[in-house]
Amino acid sequence: MDARGARGENWTIVTKTSSFTAPKGVPDYLPPGSAEFVAVRDGLIHAARLAGYGHVELPVFEQTALFARGVGESTDVVSKEMWTFADRNGESFTLRPEGTAGVMRAVIQHGLDKSGQLPVKLCYAGPFFRYERPQAGRYRQLQQVGIEAIGIDDPALDAEVIAIADAGFRALGLDGFRLEITSLGDETCRPQYRELLQEFLRALPLDEETQRRAEINPLRVLDDKRPEVRALTANAPLMIDHLSESAKAHFDEVLAHLDALGVAYVVNPRMVRGLDYYTKTTFEFVHDQLGAQSGIGGGGRYDGLMAELGGQPLSGIGFGIGVDRTVLALAAEGKSAADPARCQVYGVALGDEAKAKLVAVAGELRAAGISVDLAYGGRGMKGAMKGADRSGARYTLVLGDRDLAENTIGVKEMASGEQRSVPLDAVVTVLSEELGR
């Protein structure tokens, strides 16, 4: 049936309670699998924090013009994949498809670029939205971790950003990936290369839409995945072969810093990222065990983006890493970054008086930084111990009437099965020591 809201809008109320499902292409992460998601996200963020990147929390939607100007109207992201809507005043907003434009908007709006502390180093994590054809590793709500270093054009900073991503992957245990890198040049050589590439493309029998794209942004044609277009552009001139002396020197220095950091890479002259703002250093991390969705993260330098969005003419570099795809990459390698244990200590009470005391003990243990779960619902000893096994806890506490009378509590080490009695008033200290708290 229809109902009318307080502001006069209409909506439909669905009365069939069993009909609700998640939107198509939007994955749920639930226990125990969500532990892997959290471990990957937090592990990637930790690598950034070690390099001094501060957290930034961004709006999930922004003015549509921000992405049209920042990402580029010729990109598939803007022209085909954005979730765009009008508010009640008719202003156009878009669910964020990527993070860099929003970060740059925030830096300009809040004057971080004028603080005198450059580069501005920021990291973020959260959902982003693209109207994709859903498949494994390609979702309409995708989860990413990103970093941005804004305000300084230094090849050493480029290498730092890349090394953070590499270190993040390796800290998770991932090793079946490769780093592909290239340079897309700068204002000293891109205009000349653009003319050269357009001249080459105009001589090809391209379809009308691709011809139009070649006039707006010819580099995008080299990123076309269709086999027939790839065949036609196989001999296209490449930016890396037409770098100016300054752009080449910048790229060579980035590679030298990566060598010094021990970060392995492969130069891929044909690589073109899917966003228009990239200049100079551009890179992607690829995992071949993921099939068509092999890119697990990437980024690059964006020299003109801040000025394009109304700020100072400052440079920046960053990356976005797919949390979803990194989870899939770990699974493809048969690895896990998550601790399978739901808690460190599991409590079993035998009787109401024992439960009241064990609830208090659990609170003290949690205050000491120890994760604790309890057997709720009055389950018997057998059922409660099954819960302890499933929790993955290292220790199980058992408290009954006799224990209360003796002011002790049973502590069972789950791996060995050994059980001992510990004074109730000492159990927090004993477990804190044994768990390294």
- Binding-site annotation: residue ranges for L-histidine: 98-100, 130, 144, 148, 273, 277-278
pLDDT 10s per residue in the chain (437 long)? 333 333 444 555 555 556 899 999 999 999 988 999 999 999 999 999 999 999 999 999 999 999 888 776 656 667 678 899 999 999 999 999 999 999 999 999 999 999 888 999 999 999 999 998 888 888 999 999 999 999 999 999 999 999 999 999 999 999 999 999 999 999 899 899 999 999 999 999 999 989 988 888 888 888 888 899 999 999 999 999 999 999 999 999 999 999 999 999 999 998 876 556 788 999 999 999 998 779 999 999 998 889 989 999 999 999 999 999 999 999 999 999 998 899 999 999 999 999 999 999 999 999 999 999 999 987 788 888 999 999 999 999 999 999 999 999 999 999 999 999 999 999 999 999 999 87
Closest CA to 397 of 436, 357, 352, 368: 357
State whether residue 230 is helix, strand or coil.
Answer: helix
pTM of the model: 0.88
Sheet holding 419-423: strands in order across?
372-374, 345-349, 395-399, 408-413, 419-423
Query: 3-state DSSP helix/strand/coil percent for the chain, to nearest 5?
Result: 40, 20, 40
The rounded distance, in Å, linking the Cα atoms of 370 and 394 is 11
Q: Which residues are annotated as a binding site?
A: 98-100, 130, 144, 148, 273, 277-278
The whole-number pLDDT of residue 15 equals 52
Please give the full DSSP string across 131-194, using - where no structure is assigned. Answer: ----BTTB-SEEEEEEEEEES---HHHHHHHHHHHHHHHHHTT--S-EEEEEE---TTTHHHHH
Give the pLDDT of residue 274.
56
Residue 119, preceding peptide bond in cis (omega within 30° of 0): yes
Q: Which domains does the chain have, with CATH numbers?
A: 32-188+244-333 (3.30.930.10), 345-435 (3.40.50.800)
| Whole-number Å distance between alpha carbons of 303 and 326 | 28
Question: How confident is the model at residue 235, as a pLDDT?
Answer: 93
Predicted local confidence at residue 6, as pLDDT? 39
Q: Check: CB of residue 189 under 8 Å from CB of residue 247.
A: yes
Tell me what pLDDT residue 2 has. Answer: 39
**Dihedral through CA 304, CA 308, CA 309, CA 310, nearest 10?**
110
User: From start to end of 324-364, where are the E strands?
Assistant: 345-349
Residues 6 or more apart in contact with residue 379 via CB below 8 angstroms:
387
φ/ψ (deg, to 5) at 40: -70, -50
Question: CA-to-CA distance for 104 and 277, rounded, in angstroms?
Answer: 12
Give the per-residue pLDDT at 176. 95
